[in-house]
Structure 1
């Protein structure tokens, strides 16, 4: 999860450098700028983005070894990377995901996006004469574009574009852009639920548990200093519980995953996170803050978040503070439980809707994810040079849960409904 800046047409090198400096915190480990004909590409990475890379040897943007010279600026993460690499004969090594995306583009052109159905991504590919850019269906990875002086600019963050043009647009999720600057939709959220896979509740529960474990294992290997964001809520507890098990399997039963919680005074969240940390035997760290500390960081939070939305800003402050706290203690990668409320209908207000309307309301939540929780998650961690992984935001899990009946997501129990009921069921001892 890195940063990119691209200019296509007649890009000004000084402008590209100015844009790139705006997001240097997204990748102080490996970075580079490349010029090829009418295209300039700038890319940076965190250490956790490319732990196998050698900054003195491996140059970026990554270049293809196939027909012609194609380069890629990439910000993303694949859940099915190993399977795709094996199927297409790609060797292991640094920047495998980037090499895989380049290969898929050469093999399939714009149809390549069909193969990235278990990935979050925003990327730009170019051979110097043309470009191809795309953003994942849920818009988990950010991308913006704008024009000035017959040049198309693309960047991970708004602040980069604002440095060179007033023409700033969000690159829409589920779309790709060709060299003419035309946007084409390659995928969209479903309007109606798919047919149920089966009616066996026990099988659903087992499948959900397996998919979440598989998602975690395919995205995290603990090769860099890894910790978990533990709010005390259900989703973060699930992820940290499973991650702690994997951590002990790899390093021994006495090994403890580092977990991090933030709160004001002895808040309920702090207490709940403390109980969960003890339960999973983690090396738990707490950051207790007061109102003055919160107010002091508001300007920074808004700058990095690029939003004035009150609820989004409010939720981002704690994420910013705990990410900074974890980074100061050597953490390169943080695990998050984000996505659970959207995938499993965890928002309390969804209880107000009848079962037949729940799917449509859930898709509204999912459609807003890129401008809400995932934006907060991306910006508040990357501004502290920390990679963040949210295993519940998985293409495989998303597609599977679409077919789960509404009554298993919001389970009627007496006169109430239990939110995320099937997730609770899946993680019961």
Structure 2
């Protein structure tokens, strides 16, 4: 992961600046590019938290698209030789220039298939240049070949064209804007690097690309993933035909368990690709514990080689006495990891809220609740020298693991909600996981968001996903395996079958209680009613939501359209609007939302 900032303009000159993880294009002529160079570099520097290891630049003002590219790098693969922007000189003498935020996990395979390309580095990202140089008229072919988490911008100097794309799930954050009047575009990993003159800003859609030539008004976003051989699930969802979002009804359960286990194991293995120290986020819940367990098994069986360490380092955070800290230590003891258990105080969490809103660029309640401890944990992880971590994001969306899913009226609606949640991951869990960790220059990788895992798991029969009201039953059952001595091969039963705790709950039940109480003290009922009316787009439904919204507006005015709210399906029986898992009646320590409000 890195930071990318790009500045570009058509019809009279474009400047493009990049910082790995973000791409921006801002209005200006070629003369203005040089005049504004220092100012533009400052926008790139706003992303240096994403890429603290090195900076690189490229500029060209001699074409119809004048361009300045700046790359802020976090080095994970080929740390000494893989600096960006990457440049390939075509036979015509023109240049292809690439900046990437992310990782291409199948880069070795692509290298073997593109041996005639003159590779200059061992960077996984350079394969994008190799593929593009051979398929310049068919970007679909380039993108279908990539297995990874990425967003990138590529400048084709021969064709005076800019290409940008984002991975199918939207794991790496990306925004874009355009100005039809002066012919400029902006593409950025984070909004903070976008100059204030751009007011038409949106999230770049996952699984899509743009090719821009001559005029920004001609820019079109193309969906490549739904058309690819891997994109069946997304194609069904985007088609808008509810009848197409159906599940596979007839399967042998034991076959499903075995295949699910194999696919997830392969997903973990490919994400252990690194040239630097790495670790695992370990909450003690099912998803992160399984990822750790699989990784340890691969390491113990010598199926992967990792540098710098002979065991896996795991990290957990919580309030004093939190459920996650206790369970995470239990899992670490069982697996034999080198474990770090960090505690934070309620005041430290409250003090970090404004920084979290700044880095996350959201005012969504559940995202901020969960991001704050993750943001604090990433800072602790950075202090240990670890630069990359694996985590368990995505399982709940794909497998219907949130407790409100148990209230679905029927299997069809259950599966439809899996599709909706998975397609919106880039707005919530991916945004949280990417920006919380990258705030401190730590890259996150997410095995459950592997293309093959999603394609197989998302349309499994809901009855096997929620059998006997055990959320994610199929995943638990797939890894409920013992050895010849009857000992669990992956996790002990009390962890494997532990009820779902959303991260904001698991770090300690006092965390959400304190956030709600703090907001209730900040605003009277009359103040809340008056301030609520200020916001036409996404009006806050609670004092807590209003508190976050006011912070967001003070940092990112007029950019409210870039955010959505994470809300359970309140149209389902017995499902309330509070995103906390404890707000659902099936939770072992459920609380009454109304009673909770009256207590604070």
1:187 pairs with 2:230: no
CA deviation map 1:194-226 (0-9, x unaligned): 774972322221221111111121121453111
The size of the alignment, in residue pairs, is: 420
Q: CA deviation at 1:401?
A: 1.2
Q: Deviations over 1:52-86 (max 9, x none)?
A: 132xx654201125554101111122343333332
Return 5+ residue gaps in structure 2 as ranges.
16-32, 213-217, 227-233, 238-243, 482-600
Matched residue SS, 1:152: strand
Looking at structure 2, the residues matched to 392 and 371 of structure 1 have their Cα atoms a distance apart, in angstroms, of 17
Contact 2:102 2:151 in 1 (8 A): yes
State whether structure 2 residue 152 is matched by structure 1 residue 123. yes
Q: Secondary structure at the match of 1:357?
A: helix
CA 1:65–1:44 in 2, change beyond 3 Å: closer, same or farther? same
Task: Quote the residue 1:420 is aligned against.
Answer: 472
In structure 1, stretches of 5+ residues that fail to align are none
**Cα shift readout 1:299-321 (whole Å, capped 9, x = no counterpart):** 11111011111211110011011
The match for 2:48 is 24
- Counterpart for residue 507 of structure 2: none
Q: Is the 8 A contact 1:118 1:396 kept in 2?
A: no
- After TM superposition, the structure 1 = structure 2 runs for residues 23-422 of structure 1, keeping only pairs within 5 Å, are 23-37=47-61, 38-48=66-76, 50=77, 52-54=78-80, 59-67=83-91, 68-89=94-115, 94=121, 96-108=123-135, 109-112=138-141, 114-116=143-145, 118-128=147-157, 129-147=160-178, 149-163=182-196, 165-179=198-212, 180-188=218-226, 189=234, 190-191=236-237, 192-193=244-245, 196=248, 199-221=251-273, 223-248=275-300, 249=302, 250=305, 255-353=310-408, 354-411=410-467, 413=468, 417-422=469-474
Q: How far is 1:240 from its partner?
A: 0.8
Q: Secondary structure at the match of 1:265?
A: coil
Q: Structure 2 length normalisation: TM-score?
A: 0.66
Judged with a 3 Å threshold, the aligned counterparts in structure 2 of structure 1 residues 208 and 66 are, in CA distance, closer, same or farther, namely: farther
Over the residues paired in the alignment, what is the CA RMSD in angstroms? 2.4
- DSSP 3-state at the match of 1:97: coil
CA distance in 1, matches of 2:89, 2:256: 43
**Aligned mates of 2:269, 2:404 — CA distance in 1:** 32
Q: Flag the structure with higher strand content.
A: 1
- The residue matched to 1:53 in structure 2 has which SS? coil
Comparing 215-224 with 205-214, which one deviates more in the overlay? 215-224
Q: Which has the larger radius of gyration?
A: 2
Question: Matches of 1:344 and 1:66 in 2, distance apart?
Answer: 46
